[in-house]
C-alpha cells in the first residue's frame, strides 16, 4: 500500500501535497550522521498540537521507530548504511515527507604529490621537477563519503592556489584524485605544497566541518645557474697590498660547481676568490664558470692593481717635516742655548778661580 502511495506521489507530487491539510515534518532535516554513529530523528505534525490527531507512520529499513505522543521517534544506535530512505506519512493517506539523510565519513588519508602530466610518478612526491614544465599537483583523498560534499583546496605555503570539487556522486566511500595544473618555476624550489579535503555538510552537519590535511612536500626544482647580479664584465681596481674578493656566487639546483681561469688560480673551486694582498702579478682578466647538469654561466672580471702614492707622499712629507724640524732645532740650539749655557759655566768658573786665587794671596 505504501509503495502505491509513493508511486502516486512520484507521478503527481503536486496533487499529493495539495490534498494534504498538514504534512509530517522531520527534525533535524537533513539528518547528517557520521557512519557508525547513533542517529536520531523525529517526525511530527501540526507543530505537536494535540488536537490534531493524525496517526503518523514511519517507513524505514531499521525498524527502529517508536511512537511517542503524536510524534514518531527514530533512533538507531549506529548508522551502518551509506544511503537509506525514510518516509513519514499520515496513516492511510498519501501525505508523505521523506527525510534527507547524509551519511558521511571524513577521508581516511589525504596525500599530495607532484606527477608528470601523463599521471606518471616522479622519483618522489616532491620531484625532482624541471623548471618551466607543466606538472600535476595531485591530491589523493582516500575513502571519503559523500564525495559530492567534499571540496579539495591546494596550497603553496599559506596561499590557497585553487579549490576543486569531485564529480563523483557515490554515497559510499570512494577514493578521489584531483589534479591541479602547475607550471613549475625556480621560485617554487623549496616552497611547501599541500592540500586539504573539507566535508561541507551544511548547518546540520558538524561544526567546524571535518578537514583532513595532507603532509607538506617541499618542491625540488632543478634549474641552471643563472644570472642574478652582474652579467657585465666587472672591472675591479684595487690598491697594491689590499685584499680583494671576486664574487661569482650564483643560485642553481643542483648546487653549481665553480671553476676559474687565471694561471695563478686555476685549481680554485670556490665561488668567491679572495686575493689577500694584490700585486701587479694578480692583474688581468679572470673568468669564473658556474655549472650544473642543466647549464652554465660565465662571469668575467678584470683586476687592476695600482700603487697608491698617497701613503708614500704622506710618509715623505712627514719625513721632510721631521728632518726640517730637526735642522731648525739644531740651529736654534747652536745659536742660543749652547752659548748661554757656556757663558754661565765660564762665569761661575771664573768666580771660583778668583776666590781660589784670592785666598793664598791674603794669607
Ligand X SMILES: *[C@@H]1O[C@H](CO)[C@@H](O)[C@H](O)[C@H]1NC(C)=O
Taking residues 78 to 117 in sequence order and writing x for each that binds ligand X by CB under 6 A, - otherwise, the string is ----------------------------------------
154: contact with ligand X by CB under 6 A: no
**Count of residues interacting with ligand X (CB under 6 A):** 5
Q: Residue 119 interacts with ligand X (CB under 6 A)?
A: no
Told to check if 159 binds ligand X by CB under 6 A, we report no
Residue 158 or 310 having the CB closest to ligand X:
158
For residues 52 and 68, the answer to whether their CB atoms sit within 8 Å is no
Residues from 187 through 206 that contact ligand X (CB under 6 A): 192, 194
CB of 109 to ligand X, least distance (A): 14
C-alpha cell of residue 14 = 503536486
Closer residue to ligand X in complex, CB, 156/172: 156
Q: Which residue is nearest to ligand X (CB)?
A: 216
Interacting positions 202-241 with ligand X (CB under 6 A)? 216
In 3-state terms the chain splits into helix, strand, coil percentages (rounded to 5) of 25, 40, 35
Question: How far is CA 188 from each of CA 196, 221, 249, rounded to the nearest angstrom?
Answer: 19, 7, 20
- Give the strand pairing for 295-306 and 234-239: parallel
Is 19 among the residues that bind ligand X (CB under 6 A)?
no
State phi, psi for 142 to the nearest 5 degrees: -105, 130
The yes or no reply on residue 26 touching ligand X (CB under 6 A) is: no
- What number of CA atoms fall less than 13 Å from residue 45's CA on the CB side? 27
Q: How far apart are CA 161 and CA 138, in angstroms?
A: 13
Of 172 and 213, nearer to ligand X (C-beta) is: 213
Residue 112 Cβ, how far from ligand X at the closest point, in Å?
Answer: 11
> Which is closer to ligand X, CB of 218 or CB of 237?
218
| DSSP one-letter string for 80-146 | --SS--EEEEETTSS-EEEE-EEEEB--SEEEEEEE-TTS-B-SBTTB-EETT-EEEEEEEEEEEBS
3-class DSSP state of 330: helix
Contact between 158 and ligand X per CB under 6 A: yes
CA 265 to chain centre: 40
Nearer to ligand X, 71 or 185 (CB): 185
Shortest Cβ 308–ligand X spacing (Å): 52
Residue 158 CB, nearest distance to ligand X (Å)?
Answer: 5
Closest to 33 in 3D by CA, of 90, 89, 78: 78
Applying CB under 6 A, the residues found at the interface with ligand X are 157-158, 192, 194, 216
Amino acid at each position: 500500500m505504501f509503495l502505491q502511495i509513493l508511486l502516486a506521489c512520484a507521478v503527481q507530487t503536486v496533487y499529493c501535497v495539495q490534498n494534504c491539510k498538514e504534512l509530517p515534518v522531520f527534525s533535524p532535516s537533513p539528518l547528517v550522521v557520521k557512519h557508525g554513529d547513533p542517529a536520531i530523528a523525529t517526525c511530527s505534525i501540526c507543530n505537536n498540537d494535540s488536537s490534531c490527531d493524525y496517526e503518523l507512520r514511519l517507513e524505514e529499513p531499521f525498524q527502529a521507530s517508536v511512537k511517542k505522543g503524536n510524534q514518531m521517534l527514530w533512533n538507531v544506535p549506529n548508522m551502518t548504511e551509506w544511503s537509506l530512505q525514510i518516509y513519514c506519512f499520515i496513516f492511510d493517506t498519501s501525505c508523505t515527507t521523506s527525510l534527507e539523510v547524509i551519511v558521511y565519513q571524513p577521508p581516511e588519508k589525504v596525500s599530495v604529490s607532484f606527477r608528470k602530466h601523463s599521471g606518471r610518478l616522479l622519483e618522489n612526491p616532491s620531484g625532482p621537477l624541471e623548471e618551466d614544465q607543466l606538472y600535476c599537483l595531485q591530491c589523493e583523498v582516500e575513502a571519503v563519503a559523500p564525495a559530492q560534499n567534499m571540496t579539495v583546496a591546494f596550497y603553496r605555503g599559506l596561499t590557497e592556489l585553487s579549490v576543486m570539487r569531485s564529480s563523483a556522486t557515490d554515497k559510499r566511500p570512494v577514493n578521489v584524485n584531483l589534479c591541479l595544473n602547475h607550471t613549475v618555476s625556480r621560485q617554487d624550489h623549496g616552497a611547501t605544497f599541500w592540500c586539504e579535503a573539507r566535508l561541507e555538510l551544511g548547518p546540520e552537519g558538524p561544526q567546524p566541518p571535518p578537514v583532513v590535511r595532507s603532509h607538506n612536500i617541499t618542491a625540488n626544482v632543478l634549474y641552471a645557474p643563472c644570472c642574478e647580479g652582474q652579467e657585465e664584465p666587472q672591472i675591479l681596481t684595487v690598491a697594491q697590498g689590499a685584499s680583494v674578493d671576486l664574487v661569482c656566487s650564483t643560485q642553481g639546483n643542483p648546487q653549481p660547481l665553480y671553476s676559474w681561469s687565471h694561471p695563478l688560480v686555476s685549481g680554485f673551486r670556490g665561488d668567491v676568490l679572495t686575493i689577500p694582498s694584490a700585486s701587479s702579478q694578480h692583474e688581468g682578466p679572470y673568468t669564473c664558470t658556474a655549472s650544473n647538469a642543466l647549464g652554465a654561466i660565465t662571469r668575467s672580471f678584470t683586476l687592476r692593481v695600482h700603487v697608491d702614492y698617497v701613503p708614500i707622499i704622506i710618509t715623505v712629507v712627514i719625513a721632510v717635516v721631521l728632518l726640517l724640524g730637526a735642522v731648525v732645532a739644531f740651529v736654534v740650539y747652536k745659536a742660543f742655548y749652547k752659548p748661554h749655557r757656556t757663558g754661565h759655566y765660564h762665569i761661575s768658573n771664573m768666580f771660583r778661580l778668583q776666590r781660589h786665587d784670592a785666598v793664598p794671596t791674603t794669607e
